[in-house]
């Protein structure tokens, strides 16, 4: 069904994200270049690749926080800085002090205030409307039961849901999440991934999630962006995570092993490729 949606949009509509021959440099060093890819509205896409390859850099470029060195990048047909109000963002790595007394639902509410990634709301919602919207997103992420507790007391998985609710409260059309599965147990990784899939399907939100291990999310994903060797490719997991594609991307011999239960392991000569399967 999603593949059909992909083809239909590809033929006519505006892409959620479109990069053409895009390149980014940081500190005078090229991070990636020659990146051409298109993500359709409502797709759930994972960004994979070894540490330091430029996954967070891609998210920052989409947010309009980093200029391109070459090529183009459009978000819903606009330059990134004009699309900021359409984006929800969950940054990589955050932890709350266990003494933080702020209630979870108040943290979600803070997502409605103007911030770096969003323009001020075009209307000033009344307190009742705000409370209704906060309740709605807490329901969507399944966090209603603990929304009244202090954030610092919640478990990592519970905090993650609250942060997703905060990123969703302004009804973004695209949700960017940088390693939201980090430090969660396998059950919670799968739960957050199926939540991401549901947000795509029921709210029509495009989800772009940086992940370290594809296996817990493989069943939910539409496509993956695989970054390596200073560039990136996009496709369905079975098209991209192959020995042939990854060997070309890394410019080295890479083996992709598939276990009998369908899990994928990437094994290669480069240390960063080997570290990629360090999950087990
Ligand atoms: N502010 C910065 N100034 C200069 N270089 C930077 C800056 N931030 C990141 N880099 C460099 O850019 C490269 C890509 O970093 P990035 O954070 O995008 O990697 P990543 O793929 O997200 O890695 P990880 O899996 O460790 O999160 C790295 O070599 C990093 O050192
Ligand atoms: Mg990163």
Per-domain residue ranges for the chain?
2-241
Atom index in ligand 1 nearest the CA of residue 179 equals 27
Minimal-distance CA residue to ligand 1 atom 10: 26
Instruction: Determine the atom of ligand 1 nearest the C-alpha atom of 49.
Output: 21
Whether the pLDDT of residue 17 is over 60: the answer is yes
Judged by its nearest atom, the ligand closest to the C-alpha of residue 57 is 1
Residue that wins the pLDDT comparison between 216 and 20:
20
Considering every ligand atom shown, identify the ligand nearest to the alpha carbon of residue 213 and give its number: 1
Q: How far is the CA of 90 from the centre of ligand 2 (A)?
A: 12
Could you read off the pLDDT of 79-97 as tens digits, one per residue?
A: 999 999 899 999 887 778 8
Closest C-alpha to 22, from 7, 38, 4, 34: 34
Q: Per-residue pLDDT for 232 more than 50?
A: yes
4 against 155, higher pLDDT? 155
Task: Report residue 245's pLDDT band, with 50, 70 and 90 as the boundaries.
Answer: confident
- In total, the chain counts a number of residues equal to 280
Instruction: Please state, in angstroms and rounded to a whole number, the distance separating the CA atoms of residues 172 and 156.
Output: 24
CA 227 to centroid of ligand 2, rounded, Å: 12
User: Which ligand number lies closest to the CA of residue 212?
Assistant: 1
Question: What is the mean predicted confidence (pLDDT) over 141-166?
Answer: 93
Among residues of the chain, what percentage have pLDDT more than 70?
Answer: 87
Which residue has 């899990």 as its token pair?
263
Q: How far is the CA of 232 from the centre of ligand 2 (A)?
A: 15
User: CA-to-CA distance for 232 and 33, rounded, in angstroms?
Assistant: 8
Distance 56 CA to ligand 2 centre (A): 4
Q: Say which range, 142-151, 171-180, 182-191, 215-224, has the weakest mean pLDDT.
A: 182-191
Query: What's the pLDDT at 212?
Result: 86
Across 67-173, the runs of DSSP E, i.e. the strands, are 70-75, 87-90
Query: pLDDT higher for 13 or 271?
Result: 13
As a CATH number, domain 2-241 is 3.40.50.300
Which H, E and C letters describe 60-82, residue by residue? HHHCCCCCCCEEEEEECCECHHH
Nearest-Å Rg of the Cα atoms of the chain is 19
Lowest model confidence (mean pLDDT) among 56-60, 106-110, 230-234, 274-278:
274-278
Q: Which atom of ligand 1 is nearest to the CA of 227?
A: 21
230 pLDDT above the threshold of 70: yes
Report, as an integer, the average pLDDT of 106-125.
67
On the 0-12 / 13-18 / 19+ scale of CB atoms within 10 A, 273 is buried
| pLDDT confidence of residue 206 | 97
57 C-alpha to center of ligand 2: Å?
A: 7
pLDDT confidence bin for 275, thresholds 50/70/90: very low
Closest-CA residue, ligand 1 atom 1, reads: 26
pLDDT in tens, 35-81: 999 999 999 999 999 899 999 999 999 999 999 999 999 999 999 99
**pLDDT number for residue 129:** 85
Give the binding-site residues of ligand 1, using a 6 Å CB cut-off: 26-27, 31, 49, 51-57, 92
* pLDDT above 70: residue 123: no
Positive/negative CA dihedral, 115, 125, 79, 212: positive
Please determine, for residue 115, whether its predicted confidence score (pLDDT) is greater than 70: no
Whole-number pLDDT of residue 97: 84
The residue-averaged pLDDT of 118-139 equals 76
CA 248 to chain centre: 25
* The predicted structure's pLDDT at residue 99: 85
Question: 29-38, 50-59, 126-135, 198-207: lowest mean pLDDT where?
Answer: 126-135
| Mean pLDDT value across the chain | 86
């Amino acid at each position: 069904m999603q593949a059909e949606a992909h083809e239909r949009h590809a033929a006519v509509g505006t892409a959620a994200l479109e990069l053409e021959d895009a390149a980014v440099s940081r500190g005078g060093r090229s991070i990636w270049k020659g990146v051409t890819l298109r993500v359709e509205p409502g797709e759930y896409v994972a960004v994979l690749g070894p540490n330091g390859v430029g996954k967070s850099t891609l998210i920052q470029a989409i947010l309009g926080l980093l200029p391109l060195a070459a090529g183009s990048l459009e978000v819903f047909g606009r330059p990134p800085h004009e699309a900021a109000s359409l984006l929800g963002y969950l940054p990589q790595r955050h932890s709350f002090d266990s003494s933080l007394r702020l209630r979870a639902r108040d943290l979600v509410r803070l997502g409605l205030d103007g911030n770096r990634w969003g323009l001020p709301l075009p209307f000033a919602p009344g307190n009742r409307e705000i409370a209704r919207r906060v309740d709605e997103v807490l329901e969507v992420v399944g966090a209603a039961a603990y929304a009244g507790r202090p954030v610092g007391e919640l478990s990592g998985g519970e905090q993650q849901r609250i942060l997703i609710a905060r990123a969703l409260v302004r009804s973004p059309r695209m949700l960017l999440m940088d390693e939201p599965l980090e430090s969660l147990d396998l059950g919670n990784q799968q739960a957050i991934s199926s939540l991401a899939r549901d947000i795509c399907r029921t709210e029509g939100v495009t989800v772009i999630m940086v992940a370290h291990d594809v296996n817990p999310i493989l069943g939910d994903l539409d496509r993956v962006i695989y970054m390596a060797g200073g560039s990136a490719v996009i496709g369905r997991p079975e098209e991209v995570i192959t020995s042939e594609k990854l060997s070309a991307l890394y410019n080295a011999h890479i083996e992709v092993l598939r276990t009998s239960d369908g899990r994928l392991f990437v094994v290669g000569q480069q240390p960063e490729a080997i570290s990629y399967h360090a999950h087990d």
